[in-house]
């Protein structure tokens, strides 16, 4: 879990230009971290590469927070 | 009544300097910015040289997140535009931003982004293509991102006319100020195509110099030994301002934009029209719109690409336009130093032309060693010349037969 979170944090910090401290499990990608719709799609692609998984469009739409990402990855990889 | 349009600021990112003062110093001391390509492996290409922009750090101009969303050609434009505004001492936060517009073009657009995303498409399939692909690649995005990053909400567009792009953008933008539709236009051109595909295409067309052993001698406009253009990259952006607006805020005026002409060759996709008749008509139109006689022009910043046909036909066009006066005025191609910056060429060369008028120094054509009987004008060979001219032209001629000319004049109160 901790390892997944730190890898996700690194990607989000890189893509969204935010501080690592802001990337908490509760943080919303769009509302708290300033991501727009293009960032969200870009992030999904990056996560797929990083964790060698495939996230369907339907599942991607349900992902709102950093915590959503971490639990999705932990249950699918 | 039409408004007078003056240049009050300039920003440049180029192979011979990423700030205006070192750039100008390199221009008047005849420095070449051509080197062996480092941006990709050129071992299989007949042309291995280019004018690369060195030491450009986009994070000086924008945060990391924006860097990732912009192709290199857009980063150059944003950098040059911010520098130009600073040079003009303009603060948009205190202005009516609806009166500030942007007109910046690119000849090709985000080719390196296209190449990278196309590779992903071929190797991994359509799902792997970045959602930023289209908004990074489209050539109008320089104008879009400059307006976004500066908050300029006035007229906004982009010229796309190959190597005439920068001059068309400046001419079109000047008309917007002249018509009173904006007080300030941020105008120019940008390009970043030192990429495998662009090189492959231009090499196949046999358009580029293969003078690889001595890169700094490869771009030699009007010289008999010229063997093709040398690609450059970068951006040149100018602040075009309504004269009254500039005077009211006590701005430094570098030159006045007094004329603009453009024509189409209606001839061939890459070759200039015989005798450069399209370029001649462009220069004539520009002079007519400026209300100047041929004898009023003291300097021409030529398109001068260092290809066989361009330099020969542009010389003929100058003779057609100026008659006997063609032998009295000075002509130079600064592409001998910064290379052919394609869509950015007109922007960078307008900056040089404005500074030539302001400083009373004509920039040289370097690498001029072997006179060509077909190119027999005064090309300001190898060394800059201290001469105060009153008015000057800058020519840009592009694939597709686009010809564009602007006329700049030293600022004088009437």
Average pLDDT, chain B: 97
Which chain B residue lies closest to A47 (C-alpha atoms)? B128
Question: Mind listing the pLDDT tens digit for each residue in B191-236?
Answer: 999 999 999 999 999 999 999 999 999 999 999 999 999 999 999 9
Question: Mind listing the pLDDT tens digit for each residue in B113-153?
Answer: 999 999 999 999 999 999 999 999 999 999 999 999 999 99
| pLDDT of amino acid B236 | 98
Residues of A with CB under 8 A from a CB of B: 14-17, 37-38, 41-42, 45
For residue A40, give how far its alpha carbon lies from the nearest alpha carbon of chain B (Å).
9
Q: Is B203 a catalytic residue?
A: no
Percent of residues, chain B, with pLDDT higher than 90: 99
Report CB contact under 8 Å: A17, B63.
yes
Question: Mind listing the pLDDT tens digit for each residue in A35-46?
Answer: 999 999 999 999
- Number of Cβ pairs < 8 A linking chain A and chain B: 21
Complex prediction ipTM:
0.86
Which chain B residue lies closest to A41 (C-alpha atoms)? B131
Q: Contact at 8 Å (CB) between B343 and B162?
A: yes
For residue B63, give how far its alpha carbon lies from the nearest alpha carbon of chain A (Å).
8
Average pLDDT score over residue span B377-383? 98
Percent of residues, chain B, with pLDDT higher than 70: 100
For A20-59, b where at least 16 C-beta lie within 10 A, e where not — what string? eeebeeebebeeebebeeebbbbbbbbbbeebeeebeeee
Rg (CA), chain B: 20
> What domains lie within chain B, and their CATH numbers?
5-248 (3.40.47.10), 259-409 (3.40.47.10)
Report CB contact under 8 Å: A17, B64.
yes
Task: Choose, from B163, B177, B317, B393, the residue flagged as catalytic.
Answer: B163
DSSP-H helix ranges across B205-274: 243-248
Secondary structure (DSSP) of B323-363: GGGGGTSEEE-THHHH-B-GGGHHHHHHHHHHHHHHHTEEP
Distance CA A15, CA B68 (A): 8
| Sequence-separated (6 or more) residues with CB below 8 Å from residue B162 | B107, B342, B343, B398, B399, B400, B402
Average pLDDT score over residue span B51-66? 96
Residue B378 has pLDDT above 80, yes or no: yes
Residue A1 has pLDDT above 80, yes or no: no
| H or E stretch at A38 | helix A37-51
Report CB contact under 8 Å: B130, A42.
yes
Q: Contact at 8 Å (CB) between B47 and B209?
A: yes
Average pLDDT score over residue span B360-373? 98
Residue B73 CB coordination number (10 Å):
32
Distance CA B171, CA B157 (A): 13
| pLDDT of amino acid B414 | 75
For residue B26, give how far its alpha carbon lies from the nearest alpha carbon of chain A (Å).
36
Question: Mind listing the pLDDT tens digit for each residue in B142-193?
Answer: 999 999 999 999 999 999 999 999 999 999 999 999 999 999 999 999 999 9
CA B376 to chain centre: 25
Burial class of residue B201 in the structure, from the number of CB atoms within 10 Å of its CB (0-12 exposed, 13-18 middle, 19+ buried): middle
> What domains lie within chain A, and their CATH numbers?
2-76 (1.10.1200.10)
| pLDDT of amino acid A2 | 64
Q: How confident is the model at residue B10 (pLDDT cuts 50, 70, 90)?
A: very high
Of B63, B66, B132, the CB nearest to A42: B132
| pLDDT of amino acid A77 | 79
Chain A residues in contact with B68 by the CB 8 A cut-off are 15
Question: Mind listing the pLDDT tens digit for each residue in B273-316?
Answer: 999 999 999 999 999 999 999 999 999 999 999 999 999 999 99
């Amino acid at each position: 879990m901790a390892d997944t979170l730190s890898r996700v944090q690194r990607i989000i910090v890189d893509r969204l230009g935010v501080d690592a401290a802001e990337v908490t499990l509760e943080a919303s990608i769009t509302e708290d971290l300033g991501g727009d719709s293009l960032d969200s799609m870009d992030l999904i692609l990056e996560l797929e590469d990083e964790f060698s998984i495939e996230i369907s469009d339907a599942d991607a739409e349900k992902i709102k927070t950093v915590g959503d990402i971490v639990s999705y990855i932990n249950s699918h990889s | 009544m039409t408004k007078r349009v003056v240049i009050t600021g300039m920003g440049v990112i180029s192979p011979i300097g990423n700030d205006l003062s070192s750039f100008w110093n390199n221009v008047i001391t005849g420095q070449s910015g051509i080197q062996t390509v480092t941006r990709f492996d050129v071992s299989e290409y007949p042309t291995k040289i280019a004018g690369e922009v060195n030491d450009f750090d986009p994070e000086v101009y924008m945060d990391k997140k924006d860097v990732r969303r912009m192709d290199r050609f857009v980063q150059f434009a944003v950098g040059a535009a911010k520098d130009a505004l600073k040079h003009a001492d303009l603060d948009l936060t205190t202005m009516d931003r609806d009166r500030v517009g942007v007109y910046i073009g690119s000849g090709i657009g985000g080719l390196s982004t296209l190449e990278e995303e196309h590779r992903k498409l071929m190797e991994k399939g359509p799902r792997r293509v970045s959602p930023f692909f289209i908004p990074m690649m489209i050539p109008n995005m320089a104008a879009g991102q400059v307006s976004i990053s500066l908050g300029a909400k006035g007229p906004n567009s982009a010229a796309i006319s190959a190597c005439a792009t920068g001059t068309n953008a400046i001419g079109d933008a000047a008309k917007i100020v002249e018509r009173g539709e904006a007080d300030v236009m941020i105008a120019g051109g940008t390009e970043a195509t030192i990429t495998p595909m662009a090189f492959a295409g231009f090499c196949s067309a046999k358009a580029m110099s293969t003078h690889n052993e001595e890169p700094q001698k490869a771009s030699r406009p009007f010289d008999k030994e010229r063997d093709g253009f040398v690609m450059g990259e970068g951006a040149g952006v100018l602040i075009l301002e309504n004269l009254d607006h500039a005077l009211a805020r006590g701005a430094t005026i570098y030159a006045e934009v007094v004329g603009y002409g453009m024509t189409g060759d209606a001839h061939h996709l890459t070759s200039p029209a015989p005798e450069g008749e399209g370029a001649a008509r462009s220069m004539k139109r520009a002079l007519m719109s400026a209300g100047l006689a041929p004898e009023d022009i003291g300097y021409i910043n030529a398109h001068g690409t260092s290809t066989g046909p361009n330099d020969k036909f542009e010389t003929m066009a100058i003779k057609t336009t100026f008659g006997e006066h063609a032998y009295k005025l000075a002509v130079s191609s600064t592409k001998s130093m910064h290379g052919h910056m394609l869509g950015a060429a007109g922007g960078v060369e307008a900056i040089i032309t404005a500074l030539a008028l302001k400083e009373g120094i004509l920039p040289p054509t370097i690498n001029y060693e072997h006179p060509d009987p077909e190119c027999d004008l005064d090309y300001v060979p190898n060394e800059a010349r201290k001469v105060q001219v009153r008015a000057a032209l800058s020519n840009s001629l592009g694939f597709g037969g686009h010809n564009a000319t602007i006329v700049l004049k030293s600022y004088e109160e009437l």
